[in-house]
Amino acid sequence: MKGFHFGPWPIRPNEIFFTSKLSIGLVNLKPIVPGHVLVVPRRIVLRFADLTSDEVSDMFLSAQAIGKVIEREYGGESLTITLQDGPKAGQTVPHVHVHVIPRKTGDWANNDDIYPEIDRKEKELAGELKAPKGVDNEERPPRTQEDMGREAEQLRKHFQQYEDIWN
């Protein structure tokens, strides 16, 4: 299976660094810090309650494994692992996803200030995915496919993959 989506948008295999039976790990188009990645179920599901128990288990076991690598590779001291469930909670892409974000001392003056930043990046990401190619009205441009591909390739070697989607 090589056709992956994040909500309605296709995800290229070079953006994916992790595969499990029911989930994928992908690099972020607009990370709030280096190492901010996403874990999504392979099946497009809008809300957390609509996941099967196997999908919930797989997604969070995947987030746990990914978090260990992200924390080590990006010099984190802790992790923020978060899921915004539904539009009123800040979810802007209609596909359940878990943010895995490495944290360091002093990265935000107030620890909870990360949550408005996640909300802002979610909105930017949704706008970027909907915008025509080459159009970016946000303060920070999205990363290039090349940059995301390099990051995913570096992370990929740290995981045993469920399937080889890259060949």
Catalytic residues: 97
Residues 142 and 30: beta-carbon distance below 8 Å: yes
Query: Is residue 92 annotated as involved in ligand binding?
Result: yes
Percent of the chain that is helix, strand, coil (3-state, to 5): 35, 20, 45
Query: Is residue 67 annotated as involved in ligand binding?
Result: no
Kindly state the helix (H) or strand (E) to which residue 154 belongs, with its residue range. helix 145-156
Residues 41 and 51: beta-carbon distance below 8 Å: yes
Query: Is residue 28 annotated as involved in ligand binding?
Result: yes
Query: Is residue 19 annotated as involved in ligand binding?
Result: no
Query: Is residue 52 annotated as involved in ligand binding?
Result: no
Residue numbers in the known binding site for substrate are 28, 84, 90-93, 99
Residue numbers in the known binding site are 28, 84, 90-93, 99
